[in-house]
Structure 1
Amino acid sequence: MKRWVDVFRVNKMFLNILLSFLSLIIPVVLLGWISYVNFVNELKREYTEKIELHLTSSSHTVENYWKTIYEAGVNFYGDPAVRRLLRTSTWASEEDRSDLHELFESIDRTRFHVNQFAEELFVYADGTYVMTSDGANDFRAFFEKFRRYDGMDAEDWLATLDSDRSLEIVEPSRVTTSFQATEAFSLLVRNRSGKNRAVLVADVPVANVVRALQPVLDQGATEVVVTDGDGNVVLSTDERFANARDWGGDAGSASARSVENAEVRIDGERYIVSAVSTSTFGWTYRAITPLQAFRSQAQGILRLITVISIALCVIGTAFALLFSLKIYKPIRRIVEVYLEEDNRQQRDDAEPKRPNDLYAVGDGIRQWMSYRGRYLDEWQSMAREYADHALLQIVRGSDRNRKRDEELVRILQTQLNFKKDGYLCCAITFEFKDTFFRDVQDVERIVIENKMKNLIQGYLSEYAPLHVLESNDHLYVAIANVRTDEETERFKAGVAEFIRTFEYDRQYYHIRIGIGQPFAGLDGIAKSYRGAMAALRTLPPEDPSRVACAASPNDAQDVPYSYADENKLLKALRFGSKEEVEHAVDELLRKSGHALFARSGLIGEMYHTATRFAMERGIDADRLASESERTALTNSGPFANEQELEERQRLLVSYMHRMIETHLGPKQTQKSSQLAQTIKAYIEENYTNDLHLEHIADKMEVSVKYVSRVFKEHYNMNLTDYISELRIQLAKELLKSSGMAIQDISERVGFYNRTTFLRTFKKLEGTSPNEYRQRLRA
């Protein structure tokens, strides 16, 4: 029974997780509905904007028809020949009758101007004649036989002479001629000046007006209705709207060319009506679109959105089930482990306590957070240890790479709060006297010596972000993170205050401190440390407690001694090779140029490097050179001649040789063997790349000559021959096991010149690569 209760409790938790994920599907449905509504609204907006644009343009075209006819009529009446010959009563004289052709030509010119949209143009001044471009026609015969208008006879046309309106548009009527019958608008332009009252009539076919409105009709389900100023329909492209009166809104009162939109119901069906009114003739143009057209398109997108929503719901349900299972299993395991542990702790109770599942999860998370806190503390401790090791490698001139430098910068910023790019090194030495070992208990001595690093860290960190390294016994390096001159001076003042705190304990130990100059970047740490050690070296041993500062960086600008140069010299000293040391000194002096001052200063810098190297390894450098020799080596002032400079170079090389002979000689053979093995390992890892002696020498940080000699002494073969053998051996394997082209194999094994590859292969194997492959296949 208890087992089923546990199963129900765990399954209930699974259902809660699943429902939580399924609740995320609700926004999918809402988004689908919102997308549908937005699509319909956007569709209406885009459609109405397009209709409004075409309706405005089309109404402008039709209005231009009427304006053109009106202007042509005004120009016609202004013709002097027309004014003189328009009345038929003037035709009595022979002279006027002979000039009638001028009247007919004027009518023809006027017709030419409106011929693009007007079908016929004629003019009459009384009930006698109707003048056309072809001549004069009897008034009654013209309207009863030649051009009959439904709803208007000759008397109706004669009555139009009595109107005072200068322009009148007659509603469309059927016009019948001997050749055809058409629906046309009749535009009447009257002459009301003086006694020459006349009417010029231009018939515009309805088809031409509809053609001007065609851009609106081309939109699909849209129809056009045109009404006059009284609201009467003068043109409708659909008979359903011929008698409509209620259009929604008051478009007729709108300003010229303004567009209004409204939804109206006509015969039980809803329409969107876009209307534009014109002030010239008082007509209103309406584009009528059924809402059913939008619904038809919206139904298509609705079906699409529905399908997509259903698909997303199905996929969402599947993923919800999958994610619920993924989350449920570890949570269930946490609950089960917690319940088992709780049951073991309460096994003596009649009914073990079963906490809520979420409480069990919470307890597990709190336990995990506790573990995380401990692991984070351990990681921070490891990061500080890594920073100690990496910084010691920098100050000692060891090899570096960009990846390790980036990691070190990140740790300095996050763990040591080094936010600035400037570094200043301070070298501190403690020399304990015999009284310290005689008067202080051994246990207390151990505590004091172990806490010295923390003492320096705690005191000087008040003046700048600081990290202290223990470089050697009783030699500490404090690295301060400073940027400005004010910060540097503040830190130096703190160092001076620090050394004053030990004034009353001078009977037990001496403190000497050398302070370098601040530099930017990780390379600046090594530069500042070198300056601090040089400053420390200048302190006299008989002076108990002193602080010395390195020379200003500006004072050393003329001495070309870079970090890479110093590292090359240190590398030679580590290998214990006299030849390599002598070569390094000679190469650095040649590189510095011909200036005596620069070379003299460089000799002093190399001497300080060698002395620092000795101090870091516990070597008493004072025993390797006499006081006069040390004075000559540290004196970097100008020299009178080349001979004195050569003597200083000889003293420097002799000083380093004695260091190697006295303390490093027994290790020289071992270091030479290690170098040969390092060269061999490097070649075996990189022989497929473009290797050459200079490249290998740069990597080993020794000279090309020394690389070749060490390798040949230990392996009894030239270094270049060994590279070639490795490459040809790999080429033979590729020729045997692959179908690669010769050129591809050549590049693959490290030969980037096909001719060199062929020549080397034949030299070592006695045959060409193709012949070797063919022989294998045979």
Structure 2
Amino acid sequence: MKKIPLSSYIPLKNKLFLRILLYFLSLLLPILIIGAFLYVNFSQKSEDDFKQKVQLNLQSSVDFIDMFVQTAQRSSVSFFYDKNVMSLIQPYDEYNSADKVKVPNIPYTLSRISNDIGDLIDNLFVYVDDQKVYTKDGLENFNYYFSSTYKFEAYDADFWRNRLSSSTYLELLSPSKVVLNQSLERNGIPFVFSKTVNGHQTELVMTVSIERIAKTIRNNALFTSTNFMILNNNDKIIWSSLDGTEGFGTAELSEVLAKNGSDSGDVRIGGQKYILTKIKSGVYGWTYYSLTPYSEFTAQYTKVFVMIVSVCVLLMIVGCVLSFVFAYNLYNPIQKIRDILLSDGDDAYPAGRQGKMRVSELDWIGMGIHQIIEKSNTFKKRLDTLSTDYIDHVLLHVMTGNKPVNEREWHKVLEEELAFTRGYFVCCSIKLSYKPAFYEEIQDVERLMILHKMKKIVESLIGQYVPSYIIESKQNVFVCLANVDEEQDAIRLKHALGLIIETFQHDSRYCGIHAGIGKCYPGTEGIPKSYHDAMSVLANSDAQQNFLIADTADLNRERSGAPHRSDQLVNTILHYIENHYEQDLYLEKIAEQMGVSSKYISKVFKEKMGVNLTDYISMTRISKAKEIMLNTDMNISDIAERVGIFSRTTFIRLFKKIEGLPPNEFRRRAGHTADGGNVEQRMEG
């Protein structure tokens, strides 16, 4: 059977395939870096946590011992305040027959206290002279007690006799071996309390068992292999589990911790590494050392380290396999794309055959695809432009009564291109009039940008309310075709136009906007009629007004000359302004409130009052602002907002225009010259 080589399936010698494979394999580098980072940091963190755990364990043992010894100390000291002790304790020679009968009460008190203070205390005794010693078992001969019953190797009977002349209340003696009844040996730390009772120096001795302290520490230790050392406040060893042959004493331990700058560190003793921890008791000044073999840490965390390494290795193996699979699956379609591009000839690439030699195969394919995408985008832009021009052409002809396409194509434009699915249509015309200041004060670049984006602004604002399409029928004149559900929905179009007026109202220095709305008609046959209505309303609008929205109802009302009681209307307007001057007032809003057209209301108000309505509103606001300035300390910005002018700059400009000086200057002069009068008086003047 003929063997088929692996290279016939997998292109191991193909540079493009190998390059793709290397790209995928390079993604495995973060796994290696993260794995190494986690290993190093976890190792250090684990070691720090282990040291902290050992230190907390030693601290808990120290706190327990301190608490226990303190409790024993307080219980022992309570001996001096026992009523039997206070009434009976005195040198033995001074007891009379009646007192000697009560003397056993003192050992009874010692026995009771001994039962309360626990296992850490080995013995408790009291003496007041060099004849007798009071113990929990009774009275003992002084010399016999310290030489046979409870003999301290470091302190003989003379030492205890001389203690009777000491004035120190509490003294912790150095550890000493104690021989009980000439047979049993123990180690203890004598705590000696001195107090004068009934005029006599009384010594209370509490012996703390070193063996029981060692047992407490060992029982509480995390590891049985941990060694301990306890030093008293004079740096003398109280107890140590270290072998003295190791040649590592307290000086060496202190030197290691001093170099490390903390109470924990690593130390080598006898070729073995230990974790050294130090805790100093805040009660008696004892220093506790623990030496835990480093092997305990290694044994505890080896499994975790092995797991991290295993996961990283497994991820690397899986990553290599997946990289090979992805590279192979990606290579095949790229190779096919390359073959397709080659079939189109050299023109499909930016460089000719010479360029192919200068770039890699993958880059070469990418350049060809990029060129195809550029051609596609260029074609799409051209198609979009042609489509927009085509729709504008069709709609303009339909509005003027000429349908340039058949019915099927017309409905396709409405439903597919414009997404118009509702039954009613309404047209409106919007004319933008730019004033000389627009061309004189605004730079050319900004002016061209504004003119270029104006259609998009109008389209965006109207599109929030109704489905619509905007056409620029001629320069600065836009025609909007809106698709609505019913006649009442056409009101939303008027609100949209009001939003446009509100947006540009503060720029009346630069432009004016007139909008005419046609009637709402059912079906596409009404589009030419609505367009004709809108253009008629726009043609008959008052050119003197900066901003105006009118519909066929306004036009009919003006033409019919329906009578209105002009005096009553003007009074109503004055009353309305007086009560609403702090709001956003403008001509169209007041006309809507009065139920008449803005053109009519402007004409009547000017005839009756001799001033434009807009100027009257400004004069009213400035008059109210003057009253506030004269009677309060409000700042200019707050006063402007109070009277309905929400731009500080606009307020200052209007104030100076009407009063002839800025607001701050007016307020300053008001302290010397009273400024009276109202709006009507100013108009008469």
CA displacement at 1:181 relative to structure 2: 5.5
Q: State the 1:457 CA deviation.
A: 7.5
How big is the shift at 1:546?
5.5
CA 1:123/1:336 → structure 2, altered by over 3 Å: closer, same or farther? same
Find out whether 1:11 has 2:18 as its counterpart: no
Tell me the distance in 2 between the aligned counterparts of 1:484 and 1:224. Answer: 90
Tell me by how many angstroms 1:70 deviates.
3.4
Contact 2:468 2:481 in 1 (8 A): no
The one-letter code sitting in structure 1 at the alignment partner of 2:123 is E
Stretches of structure 1 lacking an aligned partner (at least 5 in a row): 253-257, 399-412, 428-452, 472-476, 500-512, 518-525, 553-778
Deviations 1:614-642 (A, max 9, x none): xxxxxxxxxxxxxxxxxxxxxxxxxxxxx
- Which residue does 2:464 correspond to in 1? 422
Q: In angstroms, what is the RMSD of aligned CA positions?
A: 5.4
* Secondary structure of the structure 2 residue equivalent to 1:247: helix
Taking the aligned partners of 1:364 and 1:153, their CA distance within structure 2 comes to 106
Structure 1 residues 534 and 363 mapped into 2: Cα distance closer, same or farther (>3 Å)? closer
Given the alignment, which residue of 473, 489, 495 partners 1:456?
473
Q: 1:387 to 1:137 in 2, by over 3 A?
A: farther
Residue 21 in structure 1 maps to residue 21 in structure 2: no
In structure 1, what is the equivalent of residue 399 of structure 2? none
Instruction: Rate the CA distance shift 1:264–1:130 in 2: closer, same or farther, 3 A.
Output: same
Moved more, 384-393 or 262-271: 384-393
Q: Structure 1, residues 194-250: CA drift from partner, whole Å, max 9, x if none?
A: 973343222333354245435750366544322112222212345468962122469
Report the Cα offset of residue 117 of structure 1: 3.5
Pick one of 315, 323, 328 that aligns with 1:325. Answer: 328
Residue 300 (structure 2) pairs with residue 304 (structure 1): no
Letter in 1 for 2:333: P
Alpha carbons 2:164, 2:201 under 8 Å: kept? yes
Select the residue among 93, 96, 110 that pairs with 1:90. Answer: 93
Change (3 A) 1:534 1:374: closer
**Of 223, 233, 239, the match for 1:235:** 239
Give the drift of 1:87.
Answer: 4.2
Percent of pairs identical after alignment?
19
In the superposition, relative to structure 1, how do residues 115 and 551 fare at CA in structure 2: closer, same or farther (>3 Å)?
farther
Tell me: CA distance 1:380–1:263, structure 2 relative to 1, closer, same or farther (3 Å). farther
Q: Report whether the alignment pairs 1:199 with 2:226.
A: no
For 2:519 and 2:254, the matched residues in 1 are separated by: 91
CA distance in 2, matches of 1:544, 1:421: 21
Verify the 8 A CA contact 1:170 1:187 in the aligned structure 2. Answer: no
2:551 to 537, 549, 557: 549
Pick the aligned partner of 1:108 from 97, 108, 111.
111
Kindly provide the CA deviation profile for residues 540-566 of structure 1, in whole angstroms up to 9, marking residues without a partner as x: 99x9966761679xxxxxxxxxxxxxx
Cα drift, residue 283 of structure 1: 0.6
Alignment counterpart, residue 49 of structure 2, candidates 38, 46, 50: 46
The answer (yes or no) to whether the contact 1:32–1:305 under 8 Å persists in 2 is yes
- AA aligned to 1:389 is E
Unaligned stretches of 5+ in structure 2? 1-6, 392-411, 426-454, 485-489, 542-549, 555-685
CA distance in 1, matches of 2:222, 2:155: 34
Q: 1:107 to 1:281 in 2, by over 3 A?
A: same
Alignment partner of 1:247 is 2:253: yes
Secondary structure in 2 aligned to 1:418? helix
Q: Distance in 2 between matches of 1:107 and 1:147?
A: 16
Tell me how far 1:18 sits from its aligned partner.
Answer: 1.6
Cα distance between partner residues in 1 of 2:347 and 2:92: 134
Name the SS for the 2:253 alignment partner.
Answer: coil
Q: Is the 8 A contact 2:108 2:136 kept in 1?
A: yes
| Residues 454-486 of structure 1, C-alpha deviations (whole Å, 9 max, x = no match) | 55286445xxxx765899xxxxx9x98975735
Q: SS of the residue aligned with 1:369?
A: helix
Hey, what's the Cα distance between the residues in 2 that align with 1:361 and 1:318?
26
Q: Which has the higher contact order (CA 8 A, sep 6+)?
A: 2
Structure 1 position 371, deviation (Å): 4.3
1:405 maps to what in 2? Answer: none
Where does 1:114-153 land on structure 2 (aligned, <5 Å)? 114-115=117-118, 117-149=120-152
Measured in 1, the distance between the counterparts of 2:459 and 2:116 equals 90
Evaluate the alpha carbon distance shift between residue 286 and residue 376 of structure 1 in structure 2; reply closer, same or farther with a 3 A threshold. Answer: farther
**Residues 23 and 195 of structure 1, relative CA distance in 2, 3 Å threshold:** same
Q: For 1:192 and 1:36, how far apart are their aligned partners in 2?
A: 66
Once the two structures are TM-superposed, the CA of residue 162 in structure 1 deviates from its matched residue by 5.9
* Paired amino acid for 1:396: G
Which letter maps to 2:78? N
Deviation at 1:177?
5.1
TM-score, normalised to structure 2, is: 0.55
Contact 2:424 2:483 in 1 (8 A): no
Kindly provide the amino acid, as one letter, of the partner of residue 281 in structure 2.
T
For 1:372 and 1:539, locate their aligned partners in 2 and report how far apart those are by CA, in whole Å: 41
> How high is the TM-score relative to the length of structure 1?
0.49
The 5-angstrom pairing of residues 314-713 of structure 1 reads 314-339=317-342, 341-342=344-345, 354=357, 356=359, 357-374=361-378, 376-377=380-381, 380=384, 388-389=414-415, 391=418, 393-396=420-423, 418=460, 422-423=464-465, 455-456=472-473, 459-461=476-478, 468=481, 483=496, 485-488=498-501, 514-515=517-518, 549=551
107 and 497 in structure 1: CA distance in 2 versus 1, 3 angstrom threshold: closer
In 2, Cα distance between equivalents of 1:68 and 1:486: 85
Q: CA deviation at 1:138?
A: 2.0
Measure the CA separation in 1 of the matches of 2:233 and 2:262: 16
Aligned-partner SS, 1:280: coil
